Structure 1
Amino acid sequence: MDNRVYKDITVQYCFPHSNASCRKEVQTGPAFIFLFIVLSCISVCTVFLNLLVIISISHFKQLHLPTNLIILSLAVADLIVGLIVMPVNIMQLIDTCWYLGKLLCLIFPLISSLSVFASVLSLVLIAVDRYIAVCDPLLYPSRVTVCKISICIILGWLFCLIYCIVFMYLNDHLTATQLYSTCYGECMLLLKQSWLIFDFVLSFLIPFFVIMVLYALIFKVARHQAKAVRAMCNSVFKKQETKFPSSSETKAAKKLSLVIFVYFICWIPFYLSSFSVENVTTSSIVWTVFGWLLFFNSFMNPIIYAIFYQWFRVSVKLIMTCRIYESSSSRFNLFSDGV
């Protein structure tokens, strides 16, 4: 490797044969090696777990339900994070040089922001779906169908893509003249604070408000329904103390609310810390630490499914034992103990 020596200090460059090359900084300490191993494991597990969700919902016909289609959309967004976003960020964490060229430098932030914004959209759709299921259960089958949800998901991803393109363009990222502004071998996205505030309102504050309002209404209606059922049953059984299980829709709403809670816990630190500086760059410590907290959310979602959803646990068992290759496997009953 061609190195240039100044005052007995050897300096390495990303592209030694280019006079405009950036300096190369490779983190090789024990702490960074341990961090590399941990983050790599998280990336692999994120891909593996979300693939299990995608295969489960796609393969088993019993899971072809409107709510599960939205969960499928969320899993696809999380898969993109684990398959593309995490590995590239691990590479940049260990080696500061960008070796993937100008085109991928243009596209990568777009892919990263698209996967994140699509996750927000999926969470909003989940909240709307659960609201209709709990608050208007009689009209739910006619109002929420697989076809309608599929169209909403496609239009939502298209809107996310357009928004991300406009956002990157207005931050002067989608113009070739803005790339490698300091040296060759650098890919850095500069986020202006004014547009960061706009993005905070559109992709965080508004969805947060909508989701919290919908879930508040869901739990209010569920509580009212539980009191009504309890009062009726008490009158029948002469006020005998009996515990009545909540409806499946209410249970699903409570489980999915945990997904919402984990998501916002991962997002809040990034935005709050980002507003403390005038400009945020992808090379800043804020972006590195709290950016990885965002990515960690994609790892947590399928774990939440595994803990709370019987269909996911059963489908994983069928996938891992290769029973999905049976001719009638797509028609298995995932809610039966005899599978």
Structure 2
Amino acid sequence: MNNTEYQHNITVQYCFPDSTASCRKEVQTGPAYMLLFIFLSCVSVCTVFLNLLVIISISHFKQLHTPTNLLILSLSVADLLVGLIVMPVKVMRLIDSCWYLGIVACIVSEIIIGLSMFASLSSLIFIAVDRYIAVSDPLLYSSRITVCKMSVFIFLGWSFSLFYIVIYFYFNNHLLPSQIYIRCYGECVVFLKYSWLVIDLVIFFLVPCSVILILYSIIFNVARRQAKAVRAVMNIISQKVSSSSQIKAAKTLGIVIFVYLACWIPYYVSSLSVESVTSLSMVWTVFGWLICINSSVNPLIYAIVYPWFRESAKYILSCRIFESSSSRFNLLPQHF
């Protein structure tokens, strides 16, 4: 790109022209950036729409009020926050480098971003534990895992996620307005210490993901043994249906976890290869968006795999959920 083209794509101004301490404003005006803005805005809207469908489906239809679906609901709420808050903020900062909402809003936005990411991971951990119990001990699953117990675990997962994020930003000097280092007015940049990147790698990625992968390896080994036992005793039809259902659920949620790992691994590998990372770095931007895309993929996986999601979406989009008895509709009961 020559100098003329570069000047055409980037117009340098000031975030707050009346302030002498204002940051320089870089507005991306090229056609490629406009197309990128439109595309990412559409991704944000689709993320909100699809996750709202999942949330309304599980919340409205009584048939879907199961412990496993509560975990999917928790995951969808976290993904909804990503599409509703995280993505729009990232889109605007991709086009306009200035932050106009002040220091407090900067802190709150970063906390929400971290909370949604960590809450997604805690939901995936609980999903792995839930599937492990369901497959390894299906006869006692309904008595050991109830909707009430799962609600408590979900609440604890979100509470711990918020606690971890607050501690994380406090030690990175990004929790209190007096802590934040601002080079100029109109900036919202997170500077992460390398030591905390390593701590985050262990607590946020290596340990939980290792637990998830170990549980799923056990799940599929147990599932294979159960499948052989069922084939040997074909007259136990009910066990066959139950086992097949649990195995299918485990495989489906295994895909969700695989996609999650695929989206997060590039970020950690790249961020640990440099001495410091800021929210304005190219690594943060590119792989940060890859992480966000994961929130759009999850409901698509449900739509492809789960018949109940497709059926409930039809009821929602056709406005049949406003019927008095809609909460008791049967959503393909033969698949449960």
Q: Alpha-carbon deviations, 1:190-229, whole Å to 9, x = none?
A: 1111101111111111111111111111110110111122
Q: Alpha-carbon deviations, 1:79-116, whole Å to 9, x = none?
A: 00000000001000000000111111111111000000
Matches within 5 A, 1:239-250: 247-250=244-247
What do you get for the CA RMSD once the two structures are aligned? 1.4
Are the equivalent residues in 1 in contact too, given 2:12–2:26 (CA < 8 A)?
no
Distance in 1 (alpha carbons) for counterparts of 2:179 and 2:19: 19
Distance in 2 (alpha carbons) for counterparts of 1:192 and 1:336: 52
Partner in structure 2 of residue 4 of structure 1: none
Partner in structure 1 of residue 100 of structure 2: 99
Are the equivalent residues in 2 in contact too, given 1:36–1:94 (CA < 8 A)?
yes
Are the equivalent residues in 2 in contact too, given 1:179–1:187 (CA < 8 A)?
no
TM-score, with structure 2 as normaliser:
0.93
Distance in 2 (alpha carbons) for counterparts of 1:100 and 1:273: 30
Larger radius of gyration: 1
Distance in 2 (alpha carbons) for counterparts of 1:177 and 1:323: 52
Q: Which runs of 5+ in 1 are unaligned?
A: 1-9, 237-243
1:272 correspondence with 2:269:
yes
Identity %: 66
Aligned length: 319
Amino acid at match of 1:320: L
Distance in 2 (alpha carbons) for counterparts of 1:36 and 1:279: 28
TM-score, with structure 1 as normaliser:
0.92
Distance in 2 (alpha carbons) for counterparts of 1:33 and 1:179: 32
Partner in structure 2 of residue 300 of structure 1: 297
Are the equivalent residues in 2 in contact too, given 1:77–1:115 (CA < 8 A)?
yes
Q: Which runs of 4+ in 1 moved over 4 A?
A: none
1:175 deviates by: 2.7
Partner in structure 1 of residue 204 of structure 2: 203
Distance in 1 (alpha carbons) for counterparts of 2:41 and 2:186: 23
Residues 218 and 102 (structure 1), Cα distance of their counterparts in 2 relative to 1, 3 Å cut: same
Are the equivalent residues in 2 in contact too, given 1:44–1:82 (CA < 8 A)?
yes
Partner in structure 1 of residue 110 of structure 2: 109
1:336 deviates by: 5.0
Q: Alpha-carbon deviations, 1:51-97, whole Å to 9, x = none?
A: 00000000000000000000000000000000000000100000000
Amino acid at match of 2:78: A
1:290 correspondence with 2:291:
no
Amino acid at match of 1:19: T
Matches within 5 A, 1:14-93: 14-93=15-94
More helix by share: 2
Matches within 5 A, 1:126-205: 126-179=127-180, 181-205=182-206
Are the equivalent residues in 1 in contact too, given 2:191–2:278 (CA < 8 A)?
yes
Q: Alpha-carbon deviations, 1:102-142, whole Å to 9, x = none?
A: 11111111100000000000000000000000100111111
Are the equivalent residues in 2 in contact too, given 1:180–1:187 (CA < 8 A)?
no
Amino acid at match of 1:251: K
For the residue of structure 1 that corresponds to 2:192, the secondary structure is strand
1:293 deviates by: 0.2
Distance in 2 (alpha carbons) for counterparts of 1:231 and 1:331: 38
Partner in structure 2 of residue 321 of structure 1: 318
Matches within 5 A, 1:114-125: 114-125=115-126
Distance in 2 (alpha carbons) for counterparts of 1:141 and 1:297: 31
Are the equivalent residues in 2 in contact too, given 1:24–1:97 (CA < 8 A)?
yes
1:306 deviates by: 0.1
Distance in 2 (alpha carbons) for counterparts of 1:317 and 1:172: 48
